């Protein structure tokens, strides 16, 4: 089996949302799976030193804003508009609904719709129009509308 092929498979799995891939080629079977990230162990935190004042009211913190990435479902050329000369389907600041068309990917002369898989506000577009992208690349970052 070609080692370059194996390396490309490993890179593909590492960049894609899939957790496992099994391929058989020339009577050789290769199974690649992602290792689960180890859970953070809860290590005991040292207590305050003697004589140190401890505040029972911690300083208020800004609520964290949940973000979500819309990723490229396949490798190809990313287009922000549906057709040449049309305005982009989605721009930074736009509020999109789940299932809304936000881009197009061309792969092997076939145009594939990229849809938002949840509702939110677009806060970042990671690639320019006509950019080559890999499967699993982040195309858009959404902020939850909470």
In this prediction, residues 32-49 reach a mean pLDDT of 51
Residue carrying the six token digits 């207590």: 47
- Residue 111 is predicted with a pLDDT of 92
Q: Between residues 141 and 31, which one has the greater pLDDT?
A: 141
Q: The pTM is what? A: 0.56
What percent of the chain shows pLDDT beyond 90? 43
CA atoms within 13 A on the CB side of 73: 13
Burial class for 88, CB neighbours closer than 10 Å (0-12, 13-18, 19+): middle
pLDDT in tens, 65-75: 678 899 999 99
Return the domain boundaries, the chain: 3-33, 67-143
pLDDT in tens, 111-122: 999 999 999 999
Architecture of domain 67-143: Beta Barrel (2.40)
Backbone angles phi, psi at 33, to 5 degrees: -135, 150
């Amino acid at each position: 089996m070609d080692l370059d092929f194996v390396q490309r498979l490993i890179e593909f799995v590492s960049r894609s949302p899939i957790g496992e891939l099994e391929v058989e080629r020339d009577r050789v079977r290769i199974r690649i799976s992602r290792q689960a990230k180890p859970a953070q162990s809860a290590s005991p935190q040292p207590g305050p030193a003697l004589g140190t004042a401890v505040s029972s009211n911690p300083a208020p913190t800004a609520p964290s804003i949940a973000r979500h990435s819309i990723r490229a479902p396949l490798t190809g050329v990313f287009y922000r508009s549906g057709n040449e000369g049309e305005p982009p389907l989605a721009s930074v600041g736009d509020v999109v609904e789940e299932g809304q068309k936000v881009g197009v990917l061309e792969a092997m002369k076939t145009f594939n719709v990229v849809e938002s898989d949840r509702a939110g506000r677009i806060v970042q577009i990671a690639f320019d129009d006509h950019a080559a992208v890999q499967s699993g690349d982040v195309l858009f970052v959404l902020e939850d509308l909470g």
